[in-house]
Amino acid sequence: MIKHLKFASIPTSDQPRALAFWTEKMGFKVMTDQPMGKQRWIELGLPGAQTGIVLFTPEGHEDRIGTFFNGSFHCDDIDYTYRQLTDRGVDITPPEKQPWGTFSRFRDPDGNTFILSGR
């Protein structure tokens, strides 16, 4: 049976630029980086996490680049993470507290928008 989500795909127009962002600024580690057609299959992960991300845009899906990522990254301390990402130059909004939780929005170099949720 299904155990977990292995990865979610993040569409990108520039794989080397996206790889630098996700590893150097966001702290992901390269799990796989192999040629795949005209692109590379770049799979990234976080220590202790089962779900990773893939920096790959399937042919015909280029219109997804620069859109909203329908999911959320989680951290234990959103204020600390916000400060760390701000110091690394990530385009991120200050944490916003709501009755259902606290979150920030951040963008990658392709303009994709992501949610960061925490306590």
Rounded to whole angstroms, how far apart are CA atoms 78 and 64?
Answer: 27
* Residue 47 pLDDT: 86
Q: Does domain 7-58+65-118 have CATH number 2.30.40.10?
A: no
Q: Whole-model pTM?
A: 0.93
Rounded to whole angstroms, how far apart are CA atoms 60 and 28?
Answer: 27
Cβ(110)–Cβ(67) below 8 Å: no
Query: Is pLDDT above 80 for 119?
Result: no
9 beta partners: 54
Query: Is pLDDT above 90 for 92?
Result: yes
Residue-range domain boundaries for the chain: 7-58+65-118
